Structure 1
C-alpha cells in the first residue's frame, strides 16, 4: 500500500527558500512556557533551500532544573499557556510543572486530521536525536495526545540501515493508549528521505518514501501542532550539530 496524495489538498508548505525563517509558520522556541523564550530559543540557519536546526557548542540547556543537560533547537506551529505560576501549558512532560513565562495563544498551523510530511536527513551523532511530532494544542488538558511521525537516534544509525520510532502517546488523553513502535528501515537515513503520516478519524498510517511502514488503530480527535527538532542529550563531538530539513508540508482531506 503506497501513499495516495490525490485525496488531499495542500494547505501548509515551507521549502525554506528564503534566508529568514517564516514567522507566519513557525515559532522558534521549545515549550517556552516551561523555561522562557530566551532559554528555549532555537539555533538554526537557512541556506540553499535547506533548514539546518543546530546544536551549538556554547548553547545552554533549555531547562536544566527540569531536563538536565538536554539541549534542543525546535520549531513549533503553535503555543499556549496559562499565567505564570499556573500548571496550564502544552506538553506536560513531567509532573509538577508550572508556567515560568506566560505565552499568548498563537496558532500558526494546527490541523485536525490530514496528511503531514517532511523530507529530512538524520544525523548519526550518538548523543543526538531528530524528530517531527505533533502535540494537541491543549487548550483543554485532555487534548494532550502525541503523534510521532519520526524520531531517529543517531546511535541507531548505520551506513545501510536505521531505526525509526513512530506512533501514539496518550499523555492526559483518556481516549488514547500508548502505541509506539521502532521500525528498522534498510536505508541510509543520513540521506534525505520523505516521512509521512495520514491522520484519520479511525487511525494513523505511517510512510517512508511513500511506502507503508506502520499503522495504529486510534487517533487524537482535536487540533494538533507540529514540533520539529534536534536534541542533544550530552555534550561531546564536533559542533555545530545540524539537522537538515528540505521541506515540511501539511494537507487537509478533500471533502
Structure 2
C-alpha cells in the first residue's frame, strides 16, 4: 500500500473541526491521563485559533506530576479509565516507576474503537523543548493486557526543518505480551509552520500510518482492545520554564471511523 486515503468527514462517526472554539466535552476529555495525577496538573491549556484549536504550554503551568518535573503537557483524549485511589489500574501505564491512581476517574468511552482509521490534521510546535504527539492507546478497562499503542506521530520541535521534518512512528507494546515495540524514524516533506494530516488504520491485518495520505509505516502486528485517541503538546525543559510563552501547536481537525 502506497497511499491511505483520508476519511470522508461527512461519513466519519467521530469528527471535529473545533469550530466551537473549545474542546467539545461530548467528544474530548481535556486532561492528560488525569487518574495518575491531580486535576490542576492534568488540565489542558488551549485557546481557539483560526482554523483549529491551539494547544498551549504557559509559563505558570505546573508539571504533570512533581516526580516527573520538568514535564508539562496539554492534551485532548477520547476516553478515561482507572481503578480506585492507590491502585495501579488505569489507562497508559507508560512509566516503570510505580504509577498509582491519585484521582479516580470513571470509565468514559467517548470514542474508543477496536479497529478503524483516524485522521488528525496538525501544525507542529516550533518552540524550545516541545513535542507534538498523536497516539492511539489501549484503554485497559477490559484487561491490563490491552495496553498496546499505535504511535501515529511524535514530532520534536527541533526536528522540524524548513522543508522536511523527522518524525517517530510505529507500535509500542507497553504491557501487551502479544506485541513487540516497533518504532522507527521517518522524514516527511513538511516544513515549519505547515499544517498536515497524520492517519492511522489498525485492524487484525496490521497497522498502517500515513502523512498527507502517503504511507510511511506498516506493521503486521495486531493492536488489540479499545483504543483511545490522544493529541498532546509536551514541554520538557530543564531545569525549568525557558523561552517565550505560550508555546503552541495547533490541532485543526480530527476524523475517526
* Short-chain TM bin: over 0.9
Q: Give the match's secondary structure for 1:33.
A: helix
Select which of 197, 200, 203 maps to 1:197.
Answer: 200
CA distance in 2, matches of 1:129, 1:7: 28
Select which of 207, 223, 226 maps to 2:226.
Answer: 223
Taking structure 2 as the reference length, the TM-score comes to 0.93
Partner of 2:105: 103
Partner of 2:247: 241
Offset from partner CA, 1:7-34 (integer Å, 9 cap, x none): 9951100000112320000001011111
Q: Give the match's secondary structure for 1:10.
A: coil
Q: Give the match's secondary structure for 1:38.
A: helix
Give runs of ≥4 in structure 1 deviating > 4 Å.
5-9
Using the TM superposition, give the Cα deviation of residue 219 of structure 1 relative to its aligned residue in structure 2, in angstroms: 2.0
- Tell whether the 8 Å contact from 2:7 to 2:119 is kept in structure 1 after alignment: no
Taking structure 1 as the reference length, the TM-score comes to 0.94
| Number of equivalences | 250
- Tell whether the 8 Å contact from 2:135 to 2:153 is kept in structure 1 after alignment: yes
Select which of 235, 250, 255 maps to 2:256.
Answer: 250
- After TM superposition, the structure 1 stretch with the greater mean CA deviation from structure 2, 87-96 or 173-182, is 87-96
Partner of 2:73: 72
Partner of 1:92: 93
- After TM superposition, the structure 1 = structure 2 runs for residues 1-255 of structure 1, keeping only pairs within 5 Å, are 1-5=2-6, 9-65=11-67, 67-95=68-96, 96-139=98-141, 140-234=143-237, 235-251=241-257
Please give the root-mean-square deviation of Cα atoms over the aligned residues, in Å: 1.6
- Tell whether the 8 Å contact from 1:21 to 1:46 is kept in structure 2 after alignment: no
Using the TM superposition, give the Cα deviation of residue 101 of structure 1 relative to its aligned residue in structure 2, in angstroms: 1.1
Q: Give the match's secondary structure for 2:12.
A: strand
Using the TM superposition, give the Cα deviation of residue 112 of structure 1 relative to its aligned residue in structure 2, in angstroms: 1.3
CA distance in 1, matches of 2:170, 2:182: 6
Structure 2 runs not aligned, ≥5 long: none
Offset from partner CA, 1:25-82 (integer Å, 9 cap, x none): 00010111111222210000113341000000111101021x1210000011001101
CA distance in 1, matches of 2:236, 2:6: 36
CA distance in 2, matches of 1:62, 1:131: 16
